[in-house]
Amino acid sequence: MKTAPQFFRHGPGPFTRLFVFALLSCLLIAEDVRFKYFPELRQTIGVVIFPFQKVAYIPANIYDQVDKFIANLYLLEENTRLREQYLENQAQLLRMHSLEAENIQLRELLGAVREIETQTKTKAVLAEILYTPRDPFNHKITLNKGSQHHIQLGQAVIDDKGIVGQITQLYPWSSEVTLLTDKDHSVPVQVARNSLRSVISGTGKNNELELRYLSVNTDIQLGDLLVTSGIGGVYPVGIPVAIVQRIERDPVDDFAQIIGTPIGGVDRNRQVLVLSLVDSMPHDPIEMPEIESQKN
């Protein structure tokens, strides 16, 4: 090689270059999986690609405009329907207010903390899904609101029916939501029927959640509604999470195999609500190791 003139030199060969870049990629992957030393790197790239994501969203925006225009034609019908719904909800809300007042009174009588007040008065930010990746390995979506819109890490994301997921990565103008069905995601829940507490986890498959470590003789039935228990402080109390769909009680195993389907439109909706963090969130690094490490 030394005798080759300057003209023919092209730097290292393809295999050497592949080796160097493969090594670099492996380091990045290891950093991303285990250590998370440089969250800034991901955020910087996120800012760089944001314009591309925004441009890619233009067709959807146009579709929305056309859809809105067509919907305008049916405005009167929708108005009456919404008014009926509003009255219905208002009646329920009034009943809830009185129940809440009664609950606070009873709790005061018992000398309990007034936690329920802080847990029901959650503010919400409406966000739109910017992008759903094709990746079957991780169940995440990108929203069009970020730290500039006062979104915080760890906020719960819901739709009109139930929990969708949780904010796990923050960029200035967008944020990443880990869906319920992601393999690394768990929600503390209780059975609405008998308030049996457990933790439901994603399986990494579409529309499948798993209740782990419940013994074979647990009192749980097909069709049971699972709602958030509020333990852990990330999710507010009483939001529907899943419905039990399959129970396999094999006496050979120690635990029953319980599979549920999420109620919220984990893979359907365009608009979602981002709930603000519950104030009385326990500051416990063991409970939320991932979020804590990202904050630092």
Partner 1 sequence: MNHKRTKDQHSDKNYYFGQDVYVPASNGYIALSLAIALILNFLPLQGDLLIFRPDFVAMTIIYWGISYPHKMGMSIAFSMGLMMDVGNTSLLGQHALAYCVMIYLTLIFGRRLRLFGLMKQAPQIALILLMMQITLVLIAVSSGSHLPGWSYFFATATGTLLWAPISVLLSTPLKQKPDPNAL
> Residue 46 or 230: which CB sits closer to partner 1?
46
Residues 276 and 269: their CA atoms lie apart, in Å, by 20
Largest Cα–Cα separation, the chain: 93
* CB nearer partner 1, residue 39 or residue 238: 39
* Apex 96 CA angle, 222 and 122, nearest 5: 85
Are the C-beta atoms of residues 177 and 170 closer than 8 Å to each other? no
Q: How many CB atoms lie within 10 A of CB 180?
A: 28
41 counts as binding partner 1 under rule CB under 8 A: yes
Reduced to 3 states, what is the DSSP secondary structure of residue 53?
Answer: helix
Nearer to partner 1, 28 or 66 (CB): 28
Check binding of 25 to partner 1 (CB under 8 A).
yes
Told to check if 292 binds partner 1 by CB under 8 A, we report no
* The only residue of 65, 79, 90, 132 in contact with partner 1, by rule CB under 8 A: 132
| Smallest separation (angstroms) from partner 1 to the CB of 227 | 27
Q: Give long-range contacts, CB 8 A cutoff, 24+ apart: 44-52.
A: 46/171, 46/172, 46/174, 47/171, 47/172, 47/173, 50/171, 50/172, 50/173, 50/174
Cα-Cα end-to-end distance for the chain: 49
Question: In the window 166-185, what residues touch partner 1 (CB under 8 A)?
Answer: 169, 176, 183
Which residue's CB is nearer to partner 1, number 29 or number 91?
29
Least separation in angstroms between residue 21's CB and partner 1 is 4
Helices in the chain by DSSP H: which ranges?
14-30, 39-56, 58-73, 75-110, 115-120, 289-295
To partner 1, the closest distance from the beta carbon of 186 in angstroms equals 15
Choosing from 14, 111, 223, 251, the residue that interacts with partner 1 (CB under 8 A) is 14
- Nearest to partner 1 of 52, 69 (CB atom): 52
The footprint of partner 1 (CB under 8 A) covers: 10, 14-15, 17-18, 21-22, 24-29, 31-33, 41-42, 45-46, 48-49, 52-53, 55-57, 59-60, 129-138, 140-142, 169, 176, 183, 203-205, 267-268
